Amino acid sequence: MPFSPLCQLNGGCMGCCGHDFESKEKIKQAVFKNNLEFKHADPKTEEQFIQFRDRRPSRDLRNGVCRNLVEEQGCYLCPLHPARHGKDLRIGHCDTDYLCKTATLFENWSEEKKKKFIAFVESKRLDNTDYSIRMDNDSLLKEFIELEKSLT
Ligand code: SF4
C-alpha cells in the first residue's frame, strides 16, 4: 500500500481526500461537518465504522472533500485507515493505491534531496489545509524545483 512520509507532515495532508477543492474555507467547513457526524455516530466496532463510511456513496463529496475525513487534535485523519483498525476499511471506498505527483517523485529522490524538500516545506510554515492544497495542486513541488534550479 503506498505511503509517503509527506502524507503526515504539517498536521497531516488531506490532498487526496477529495477532488476539485473550492477553497480553504469550504474544506474547513466540510471537515467541521464531518466531525459532527463522526462524533454523533461514535463508531466503536469495525461494523459501526463501515456503517459510518457507507452512510453516503464514496463519490458523494462535501465541498469536494471526502465525507469520512475528520480532524482530531488539529490533525487530519481518516477513521477508516489501517493505522486505527489493522485492517484497511478504505478498500473499495477510495483509491488506496494513489500517490500524488510530489509523493511519487519524492520516493525516488536521494536522502539529501528528501531532507531538503522537507526543510523547504517546514520553512513555509503552512497550516495543514494550505499544505494539502499545495500538495494536491503540485505548487510546492514546482516552487521547490525552481528554487533548486536557481541554486545550481
Ligand atoms: S496529496 Fe500526496 S502527500 Fe497528500 S496525502 Fe495524498 S499522497 Fe500524501
Task: Please report whether residue 84 resides in a domain.
Answer: yes
Ligand 1 pocket mutation pick from 10, 69, 75, 100 by most atoms within 8 angstroms of CB: 100
Q: Same structural domain for residues 109 and 58?
A: no
Of the pLDDT bands very low, low, confident and very high (cuts 50, 70, 90), residue 1 is very low
23: Cβ contacts below 8 Å, ≥ 6 apart:
none
Domain count, the chain: 2
Q: Single out the residue in 96, 120, 144 at which a domain terminates.
A: 96
Ligand 1 pocket mutation pick from 101, 118, 132, 141 by most atoms within 8 angstroms of CB: 132
Q: Same structural domain for residues 63 and 128?
A: no
Q: What is the pTM of this model?
A: 0.92
How much is the pLDDT for 112? 97
Cα 42 to middle of ligand 1, angstroms: 27
Q: Same structural domain for residues 120 and 91?
A: no
Q: For residue 52, what are the domain limits?
A: 20-96
